[in-house]
Copies of this chain bind each other. A is one copy, B any other.
Amino acid sequence: MRCLVLGGGGFLGSHLCDALLAAGHAVRVFDRPNLVRYRSFNLDEKIEWIEGDFVDREQVAKALSGCDVVYHLISTTLPRSSNDNPVYDIESNVVSTLHLLEAAKRHKVAKFVFCSSGGTIYGVPQENPPIKESHPTEPICSYGIGKLAIEKYLHLFHLLHGIDYCIFRLANPYGERQRPATAQGAVAVFLDKALRNETIEIWGDGSVIRDYLYVGDAVSALTRALTYEGRRGIFNIGSGSGLSLNDILGAIEDLIGSPVRTTYLPGRAFDVPVSVLDISKASEHLDWRPKVSFVEGLSRTAQWLRDRR
């Protein structure tokens, strides 16, 4: 199949492209101009590379032409920064995705795969974790509201225009190619600091619990969308268990064999205290399970960070 990967130059996207190529699919990437990330990782000449801006509907529509499947991994905002300017968040993410869906309708795209956010879409857990897909969706950041609106539009476009969809509510992916410089992703940031013997900054007391998923496991879920026979589905994709920030620090100390330097800063008001996803639906319907333990994934990430120096 011919797959368009929106955001294929990023951390998760580049791994997805590798997996799609390895499975024999044709891959076209749409990502920002001057983005050298994926190219610096592993430029594969078989990838067709289109540079453009996601908010430019004409560029996006052109990229879609001739593709059977669209993987939409682009977000113009981060969970935290999204609250600074909700108008920009909605315009650049939801409205741009609606233009994309209109183009997908015209180009008769068969399947739309969307990376939603397991960490923000539910808000503060109203039931004991792990959280099922049926849990109420009460985001406490604009990022999560935008993801939710896009999910609803995917369902509407399925009903109105027959576009099949898979929605993956992803936990926090980590692993090789995650850039510590961007301050997204506690695993890469903490690990990089530890390897440099620099002080690790922790917001709050380190008890905030998240679901960390090795990037290879995230990608194996994403590629399952191509063989999934259901016409629509929303799936939590996570490790199935939670780790606190202090747990991560402990695992890093075990890995490198020495204590890390830490400093604890005031907590952030709208960090959800715990987010762990119930992955039994994906396990049952997609025959998917995460395979790489946190210790193993951490070790691989550390090796990659060492190698790139």
Contacts and interface: CB of A to CB of B under 8 A. Distances in A.
Interface of A: 83, 86-87, 90-91, 94-95, 98-99, 102, 134, 136, 138-142, 145, 148-149, 152-153, 155-156, 159-160, 270
Nearest to A160: B83
B86 A90 contact: no
Contacts of A149: 90, 94, 145, 148-149
A288 to B, nearest CB: 24
Contacts of A98: 86-87, 90
A243 B134 CA distance: 30
B160 A270 contact: yes
A55 B136 CA distance: 31
Given A86-B156, A139-B156, 20 more contacts: A83-B156, A83-B160, A86-B98, A86-B153, A87-B98, A90-B90, A90-B94, A90-B95, A90-B98, A90-B149, A91-B91, A91-B95, A94-B94, A139-B152, A140-B156, A140-B159, A145-B152, A148-B149, A148-B152, A160-B270
Contact of A142 (B87, B134, B145, B156): B156
A50 B120 CA distance: 39
Contact of A270 (B87, B95, B141, B159): B159
- Chain A contact residues: helix, strand, loop or mixed: helix
A86 to B, nearest CB: 5
B87 A99 contact: yes
Closest 10 CB pairs of A and B: A145-B152, A149-B149, A87-B98, A86-B98, A140-B159, A90-B95, A87-B95, A90-B94, A145-B149, A83-B160
Nearest to A161: B83
A17 B136 CA distance: 35
27 contacts: A83-B156, A87-B95, A87-B98, A87-B99, A90-B94, A90-B98, A90-B149, A91-B91, A91-B95, A94-B94, A94-B149, A95-B95, A134-B136, A138-B152, A139-B152, A139-B156, A140-B155, A140-B159, A142-B153, A142-B156, A145-B149, A145-B152, A145-B153, A145-B156, A148-B149, A148-B152, A159-B270
B83 A102 contact: no
A139 B159 CA distance: 11
